[in-house]
Amino acid sequence: MVNKVTTGAVIGLKAYEVSVETDVQNGLPSFSVVGLPDAAVNEARDRVRSAIKNSNFTFPTKKIVINLAPADLKKAGTSFDLSIAMGILIEEGVLEADSVKDYAFLGELSLNGDLRGVRGVLPVVMGLKDIGIKNVIVPFCNAKEAALVDNINIFGAESLFDVVNHFTEVPLKQTISDIASYLSVSNENYEYDFKNVKGQQKAKRALEIAAAGGHNLLMVGAPGSGKTLMAKCFASILPPLNLSEALELTKIYSICGLLTPEEPLVRKRPFRMVHHTASANGIIGGGSNPMPGEITLAHRGVLFLDELVEFPRNVLEVLRQPIEDGEIVISRAKHSIKYPAKFLLLGAMNPCPCGYLGDKEKQCTCSEYMINRYLAKLSGPLLDRIDLQIDVPRLTANELLTSSEAPESSFEIRKRVINARNIQAERYKNENIFTNSELTPDMIKKYCQIDEASKEIFKAAIIKYRLSGRRYDRVLKIARTIADLDNSDIIKQKHLMQALQYKMFDKDTYVSAD
């Protein structure tokens, strides 16, 4: 007789139910797994056999067939081990089939029967809850993560023997997790703080605007001007995650295996610093079983690309669509996977190969051809998607030596950022967006209105700087954020004029500074 045990799996971020059907018949001893298993699932045969024997249970010397239904979906990973073992033990009469009908099982088995942690527990448990599963048994190290899902009973087990014992003698202790307690615990210690950054008031203001509205930003300046330091300080002024954002990020990090038993919930906005040798697949995600890339790991946080023009042109160009749409679709022959990618792009670069174009202290040694070739990697469409573009000049001797007035700390800047984010959260509570950077064209018309005098100023700027339609929208979004930082319900002329300061990067700006 065939028995069924419930487990789950994920494709992308979407979970689905998997029924582990076990059939044990008389015949030559064999053990086969069907239902599109990958190599890791196929290897479960040896792990399960040893785990059952080393847990002092009898392994049947018969023909065993395991079917993972639905059979048309690829099964990957090691999380099916426990459910396969449970199906075999039911066939052996160790457990009653009715006793596990309201349960689902997740976990990898070691050869001695211990349960090891697996990836993707949170999204799988969320999916199992949606189909009506009431109880889930997971490895003990995954229990706190699984318990983040409310209205479902989570039991953490350390071994296969403990799981069997749960149904026969001593029940496992239910794991209770309070999400609010995780978010309420202070986790705001940052290595870098703006109080240690001298000068660069314009750059700091731009970074504050970027954090408040979720705007992309590019810093261009000579080596040693503080671009990388300020980028690292940027993480310290980002607002805290709300509950929905934290769970969304935790699902992503769970699938990638980046959670720990001590930190089952992502509590800080991610700050992903990527080296310029990263491939396009590393940035956007991919593989035969597509996994999230850096842009998805930076979801609701920051993707920092230092030395931006050192990245290959094709790598930079793949960012265009995710920046615009806030998601990435990875297509394969049999299916397509969609990952969220609403990240803030933070870039830093030198204005030329030697780094001193426009510098007042050191002469640039690059030819016009070298400069043009260097900057050619930054296409117009990509630059058009970067809201704030600023120059970061070298600090003067006075700025470096003056210490009479302490720079503003990240804590003070962060308070203004949080206040602006709260204003946006209230304004867009019915719009399914969080920040000004996510405004659609229709929303821009609704929330970014300017008076007639401001329109005349804007018209002159459009003609002078040859702003595109996309750039026009982005200036209005920036002005809306500046108004929020100023606690203003309307966009005033001063807000629009400040937004227009962050025009598109142009090498002529640096040449004219010589």
Residue ranges and CATH numbers for the domains of the chain are: 3-177 (3.30.230.10), 194-511 (3.40.50.300)
> Can you tell me the mean pLDDT for 8-37?
93
Q: How confident is the prediction for the chain on average, in pLDDT?
A: 90
DSSP SS3 for 151 = coil
Mapping DSSP to helix (H, G, I), strand (E, B) and coil, where does residue 217 land?
strand
pLDDT exceeds 70 at position 96: yes
Is residue 160 within 8 Å of residue 113, measured between CB atoms? yes
Q: Kindly provide the b/e burial profile for residues 119-146, where b requires at least 16 CB atoms within 10 angstroms of the residue's own CB.
A: bbbbbbbbbbbeeebebbbbbbbbbbbb
Can you give the pLDDT at residue 191? Answer: 87
Q: State residue 383 phi and psi, 5-degree precision.
A: -60, -35
pLDDT at 180: 66
Tell me how far apart the alpha carbons of residues 474 and 478 are, in angstroms, rounded to a whole number: 6
Q: Please, what sign has the CA dihedral across residues 72, 73, 79, 83?
A: negative
Between CA 297 and CA 284 the distance in angstroms is 10
Q: Which residue has the higher pLDDT, 166 or 331?
A: 166
pLDDT at 394 over 90: no
In sequence order, what are the beta bridge partners of 302? 271, 344
Mean pLDDT of 44-69: 95
Chain segment 163-221, per-residue pLDDT in tens = 999 999 999 999 987 776 676 655 667 889 998 888 888 999 999 999 999 999 999 99
pLDDT at residue 400 tops 90: no
In the structure, what pLDDT confidence band is assigned to residue 464 with cuts at 50, 70 and 90? confident
pLDDT at 479 over 70: yes
**Which positions ≥6 away from 100 have C-beta within 8 Å?**
5, 86, 90, 167
- Compute the distance between CA of residue 491 and CA of residue 451 in angstroms, rounded to an integer: 8
What percentage of the chain carries pLDDT values higher than 90?
68
Alpha-carbon distances of 415 from 183, 207, 490, 513, rounded to whole Å = 18, 14, 21, 35
Tokens describing residue 373: 């070739």
What confidence score (pLDDT) does residue 452 get? Answer: 87
For residue 512, is pLDDT > 70?
A: no
**156 exposed, middle or buried (CB, 10 Å; 0-12, 13-18, 19+)?**
buried
Helix boundaries (H) for 256-332 = 280-284, 294-297, 313-317, 320-325
- Residue 514 pLDDT > 50, yes or no? no
- Give the other-Cβ count within 10 Å of 470's Cβ: 13
* Cβ count within 10 A of residue 16: 14
pLDDT at 64: 96
* Cβ 17 vs Cβ 127: under 8 Å: yes
What length does the chain have? 514
Query: Using N-to-C axis directions, what is the helix angle for 469-485 and 493-500, rounded to 10°?
Result: 130
Q: Cis peptide leading into 70, omega within 30 of 0?
A: yes
Query: Residues of 253-279 as b/e, b for ≥16 C-beta within 10 angstroms?
Result: bbbbeebeeebbbbbbbbbbbbeeeee
Q: Is the pLDDT of residue 511 over 60?
A: no
Alpha carbon distance 216, 451 (integer Å): 26
Burial class (CB in 10 A: 0-12, 13-18, 19+), 280: middle
CA atoms of 297 and 341, how far apart (whole Å): 8
- What is the C-alpha separation between 116 and 352, in angstroms, rounded? 51
Q: Are 399 and 199 in contact (CB under 8 A)?
A: yes
Find out whether 273 and 301 touch, Cβ atoms under 8 Å: no
Q: Which helix (H) or strand (E) holds 327?
A: strand 327-331
Q: What is the pLDDT of residues 98-123, one digit of tens each?
A: 999 999 999 999 999 999 999 999 99
Residue range 424-440, pLDDT digits in tens: 999 999 998 989 999 99
% of residues, the chain, pLDDT over 70: 95
| pLDDT surpasses 70 at 153 | yes
Tokens for 171, please give them: 């029940």
Q: How far apart are CA 92 and CA 164, in angstroms?
A: 13
Output the pLDDT for position 513.
42
Question: Do residues 359 and 344 lie in contact, with contact meaning Cβ atoms separated by under 8 Å?
Answer: no
147 close to 267: Cβ distance less than 8 angstroms? no
**pLDDT at site 395:** 81
Pairing of strands 291-292, 3-11: unpaired
Using the predicted structure, report yes or no on whether residue 487 has a pLDDT greater than 90. Answer: yes
Q: Is the pLDDT of residue 398 over 80?
A: no
